[in-house]
Every structure is written in structure tokens, then in C-alpha cells.
Chains A and B, each alone.
Chain A
Amino acid sequence: GDSVTQMEGPVTLSEEAFLTINCTYTATGYPSLFWYVQYPGEGLQLLLKATKADDKGSNKGFEATYRKETTSFHLEKGSVQVSDSAVYFCALRNAGNMLTFGGGTRLMVKP
């Protein structure tokens, strides 16, 4: 079946540091890929998406590129802020339109 693997957290960074959260997936066909963010006490929000190979999703300074050859969708941000502290989930949607989530990565940004 489909699966999504994320790096385990927590990831602790200082403000303005560079962020990478790794995400790899296993799926048949050509899934759509997503990053969701969950701020403390809230539900998940869609952060960015990519629907085909080599697409780059971007939002709020975050980016991720759909790499089919490495089955990856790593999340990056050039300069994190304290307000970026949250849990980040990588997810895929397959041809059957089911969403599969990774385990989540907690990011903590210190001032």
C-alpha cells in the first residue's frame, strides 16, 4: 500500500536558520503530494502542494519539489521564524483519492 515517511523530530533550530524536513513516499502511479502544517491546538492546514513530477509547491517562504526519481518531497525554508514552530505533515493522494499522511515532524524555532 501507499506510505509516507518523514524524518523524526523534533527539529530544533534558531531563528533565521535554514530548514529541511525530509519526506519520501511509496505509491503506485502518480500521486499528488502535500505538506500540511498544524499549529498548537489547531487542526491541519494545507501549506503547499504539487500534483506532478518536477512541480514546485511554495507558500509563506516554504518550498518543496516533487522528485519522482527519488520519490521525495522535501520541505525547505531559507530563514525560519519563531512563528513557524508547528508540526509538519507530508501527505500523498493516490488515484483512488485517498490521503495518506506521514508521522509528522515537530519543528521548534528558538529566538
Chain B
Amino acid sequence: EAQVTQNPRYLITVTGKKLTVTCSQNMNHEYMSWYRQDPGLGLRQIYYSMNVEVTDKGDVPEGYKVSRKEKRNFPLILESPSPNQTSLYFCASSLSMGYNEQFFGPGTRLTVL
């Protein structure tokens, strides 16, 4: 089954404790992206990757890191999480950057205390 998976689905942590949210897709997609969803703000892009070893900042990259060492994986790293990073995070992928349809993962709800 073609899908985008994220782990964990739910995470509660404390300020400053490094964490990683994993994202994996099995569709051989070149393009992957991370978004955060906050009430009333829709989805805002954090980082994206057009291919292996190619990443770039989105609209709200501060406080986040990403890496793309393999085509299927695109982890999101929070080196020192803060309460303003409490949010719902979505990973997405598509065949290429300009391709019409992005496939979204189920989301990761992160709470930083």
C-alpha cells in the first residue's frame, strides 16, 4: 500500500530535550516536505527536500533541522524544543516538487512542556 508514515504519532516532551520525528514514504517520491498545522493558520511549510541530500527552508524553519540521506526517509529534528513548537506536524511527499498531488502522513501531535 502506497503511504507516508510518521513516528511517533503522539509525543509529550519537555523544553530542551532533543527529539526526532521520522517520516518514510514507499512511493519512490523525490519531493518530501514537513508542515506544521496550527489553529487558524492552516499548514505552514517548515522544510522541504527535492531529492537526496537536497534540502531547503520553508516558511517557518527556525528551531528545526532536517536531513535527506535516503530517498524514502526525511526526519525532522528539534535540537532544543520549546513550547512554541507545540503543534501538529505533517510529512508529505510527491513525485516531484511541481507535481499536483502531495501525499500526507497521518500527523504527529507534539506537546512541549
Question: Which single member of B42, B44, B107 contacts A43 (CB below 8 Å)?
Answer: B107
> Does any Cβ of A come within 8 Å of B4's Cβ?
yes
Chain A residues, CB < 8 A from B97: 97
- B101 contacts which of A4, A8, A42, A46 (Cβ < 8 Å)? A46
Known: A43-B4, A44-B90, A97-B97. A103 touches B104 (CB 8 A): no
Query: What residues of chain B lie closer than 8 Å to A89, measured between beta carbons?
Result: 42-43
CB <8 Å contact, B42 and A4? yes
In the assembled complex, the Cα of A93 lies from the Cα of B45 at a distance in Å of: 13
* Interface size bracket, B side: 20 to 34
Instruction: For the complex formed, measure the closest distance between the CB of A65 and the CB atoms of chain B, giving whole angstroms.
Output: 17
The smallest beta-carbon distance between B74 and chain A, in angstroms, is 15
The reply to whether A43 and B105 form a contact with Cβ atoms under 8 Å apart is yes
Q: Does B106 contact A (CB under 8 A)?
A: yes
Q: Which residues of A contact B44 (CB under 8 A)?
A: 101
Interface centre among A6, A43, A44, A93 (most CB of B within 10 A): A43
- The answer to whether B100 touches A103, judged by C-beta atoms less than 8 angstroms apart, is no
The answer to whether A103 and B106 touch across the interface, beta carbons within 8 angstroms, is no
Are A42 and B102 within 8 A (Cβ)? no
Residue A29 CB within 8 A of the other chain: no
Most buried by A among B35, B37, B42: B42
Residues of A85-111 at the interface with B, using a CB-CB cut-off of 8 Å, are: 89, 91, 93, 97-99, 101-104
> Which residues of B pack against A, CB within 8 Å?
4, 35, 37, 40-45, 58, 90, 92, 97-98, 100-102, 104-107
